[in-house]
Structure 1
Amino acid sequence: MSSSTPQKRVSTPENGHGGKRPRALASPDGGVKQERRGQAEASQGGEGEGAVVAVQAMDDPQISVRISVARLHCNACLVPLKPPTFKCEAGHVVCSTCRGRHGQGCAGAGAYAACVELDDIVRDAKVPCAYEEYGCTSWVVYHKVVDHHRTCRWGPCFCPDSSCELYASPARLAEHFAAHHAWPVAKIAYGKPCKLAVPGPQGRQVLVGEGDGCVFLVSPCALGAATAVSLVCVRAGGDAVAGAPQFRCKLWVEVEGNKENLALVTSMVASSNLSGGFVAAEQGMFLAVPPELLHDESGEAPALMVRIDRAGAAAAAASARSPSATPPSKLPKRLQ
């Protein structure tokens, strides 16, 4: 293989030191054993013969290495290898999918042997997330990199303001929205309504989900004499992200002194990386707030109520973690 072969920085096995290099790595020819023996001797503490020796458990030490990308890819389909792996008689390593059809141009493809040792390597080999510069500190198993990037909450998005060119993670965008655009930022508990002011023509509201830090942007746009209010989840990849957490929301506006009139919409929450700016009314679901509620004769200011619920796999995972923590609904009975 030529010297121009791409290289990957790989960490193996499981990282347990948070980036701090174990002392044992300085002596690869037995340093781990020496350190453990030293801990055992120290633990005796001179307490005499027959003392119980407590050996402190150590996590597996870590090293960072550079390795040819080709070493971690199937020789047939060229995708990253994942266990189980196999080697043909000619020495080509292939994935389980290609084992039965790795014959073209290979005279040694008649028989295969399992690569148990290589399985251990591809199972544990990790690389830093591509979004490391945006805040992600994860080391990802190499053959799972694509899946991780699809759902990584640090995937960068755009500031929707046309005068701003910031490109950052949703978490950093939320800080930016508050510091540079003075948009109100509030935490929201899933399954519970949150009361907001109905945003004006240029008003924005930023919501951050408790527990997972998902960022939601509430923005208005004119709809004739009415106001259209939309809510999107700020996420890299937008709605094309498979396996990402899904949400549904209820948006409604009512006036305290006017219980007869109500504007309500319930829908799945769309996702956007905001590359096209603010979401317009024609781009997805929105709540149409009629002028009768915006300028109610009672003089009471209308309130925008927002309730976001986890949906699909996200809801199942939350339920599994806390099956009895589902809060009672605070929606008016007519909205449930």
Structure 2
Amino acid sequence: MVVHEEGEIMQTEQDPTMELSKVSMDLTVLHCPLCLRPLTPPVYECKGGHLACADCRVECPENQRQCQKCERGGGFDVRNMMVDSVLSSVRVECPHEGCGLYVTYHKLADHQSVCLLAPCKCPVPVCGYEGPPPVLYHHISTTHPMPVHRIQYGKVLQLQVPLSEPRLLLFAEEDRHAFFLVGGVLDIRAPIAMSVVCIRAGASPLPHYVAKLWANGPPGEPKGTTDAVKVEMEVTSSKDPGDIDVQELTFLTVPPKLMAGAKLVSLHIQIDKLTS
């Protein structure tokens, strides 16, 4: 059995020198009694054996660095190597359905913030449904009238997006990620604004995604020419794409003159997957 550097247990051939077992325990005993967060090595103790995490040992005000449980006080000056070993060996299963990874307990919150199966919210207003991205894609495509299109990384997808409802879902089968195309128009004289959000844990690491969006206007003069607008953006990730701060997004803006009275935006979109 091999332990990944981030704490996940990868199911491979078991190391014969390791003795593994499943146990039930009150995980709060692995929390710092001062800040109440999971203890992270290095852990220190006072002369009475009471514990404190390294952050509390350093960051607490001077008058709180003395153990409050000991009659004579005393600082947390001795590192407890045995507790460090226990903390590094205790692993719990990620609670996200379908994940199945076992993570070092004090790293669980970090893993959950980037887990590919972290529950995400449906972008349809007042829906309230939450589920991992692949399940969320199925929910949207079967429950809501929102258009759903399949997209391949590195290839151009041409869409006719109605001004009345400039929102749709893009689904990439390669890695089962879903992208939410969000747009809007304030009034007939305002530009149409469109952006792309990847529906996944907001702190997810690689891969990153870059989207290219462009829209063409009607044929102009001289014959064969046309006006166009184009933008390239790094795709923002969010577990709640329907409530994302627009200040975090880059938008393609299509001026009304490019529409020439049409009720549809002729949109081209290409999403590139970056693994480094």
Q: TM-score, normalised by structure 2?
A: 0.71
More helix by share: 1
Aligned match of 2:151 in 170, 173, 187?
187
Q: How many equivalent residue pairs?
A: 252
Spell out the pairing of 1:1-336 with structure 2 (5 A cutoff). 15=9, 58=16, 60=18, 62-99=20-57, 102-105=65-68, 106=70, 107=72, 109-110=74-75, 112-132=77-97, 135-162=98-125, 164-181=127-144, 183-189=147-153, 192-200=154-162, 201-202=164-165, 204-209=167-172, 212-225=175-188, 227-236=192-201, 241-242=202-203, 244=205, 247-254=209-216, 259-274=225-240, 276=242, 284-291=249-256, 293-294=258-259, 303-309=266-272, 315=274, 318-319=275-276
In the alignment, residue 264 of structure 1 is paired with which amino acid? K
> 1:163 Cα deviation (Å)?
6.4
> 1:83 Cα deviation (Å)?
1.9
Q: Which residue of 1 aligns with 2:3?
A: none
> 1:108 Cα deviation (Å)?
6.2
Deviations 1:82-139 (A, max 9, x none): 222233220112223344674142336357443333222211212222333xx33222
In 1, distance between residues paired with 2:50 and 2:67?
Answer: 12
Deviations 1:186-217 (A, max 9, x none): 1332xx24222131133643234565543211
Q: Mark the CA change 1:243 to 1:108 in structure 2 (over 3 Å): closer, same or farther.
A: farther
Q: Mark the CA change 1:90 to 1:70 in structure 2 (over 3 Å): closer, same or farther.
A: farther
Q: Mark the CA change 1:77 to 1:227 in structure 2 (over 3 Å): closer, same or farther.
A: closer
In 2, distance between residues paired with 1:114 and 1:281?
Answer: 47
In 1, distance between residues paired with 2:270 and 2:11?
Answer: 40
CA contact (8 A) 2:218 2:258 kept: no
CA contact (8 A) 2:10 2:101 kept: no
Q: Mark the CA change 1:15 to 1:159 in structure 2 (over 3 Å): closer, same or farther.
A: closer
Q: TM-score, normalised by structure 1?
A: 0.60
Gap runs ≥5 in structure 1 = 1-12, 19-55, 320-336
In 2, distance between residues paired with 1:14 and 1:286?
Answer: 37
In the alignment, residue 71 of structure 1 is paired with which amino acid? V
In 1, distance between residues paired with 2:180 and 2:15?
Answer: 47
Structure number with greater Rg is 1
In the alignment, residue 202 of structure 1 is paired with which amino acid? E
> 1:146 Cα deviation (Å)?
1.9
* Helix, strand or coil at the partner of 2:165: coil
In 2, distance between residues paired with 1:289 and 1:185?
Answer: 21
Q: Mark the CA change 1:281 to 1:118 in structure 2 (over 3 Å): closer, same or farther.
A: closer
In the alignment, residue 121 of structure 1 is paired with which amino acid? V
In the alignment, residue 194 of structure 1 is paired with which amino acid? V
In 1, distance between residues paired with 2:229 and 2:148?
Answer: 23
> 1:224 Cα deviation (Å)?
3.2
Q: Mark the CA change 1:202 to 1:72 in structure 2 (over 3 Å): closer, same or farther.
A: same
In the alignment, residue 119 of structure 1 is paired with which amino acid? D
> 1:150 Cα deviation (Å)?
1.9
CA contact (8 A) 1:197 1:303 kept: yes
CA contact (8 A) 1:230 1:281 kept: no
* Helix, strand or coil at the partner of 1:188: coil
In the alignment, residue 252 of structure 1 is paired with which amino acid? W
In 1, distance between residues paired with 2:106 and 2:137?
Answer: 31
Q: Mark the CA change 1:216 to 1:76 in structure 2 (over 3 Å): closer, same or farther.
A: same
> 1:72 Cα deviation (Å)?
1.0
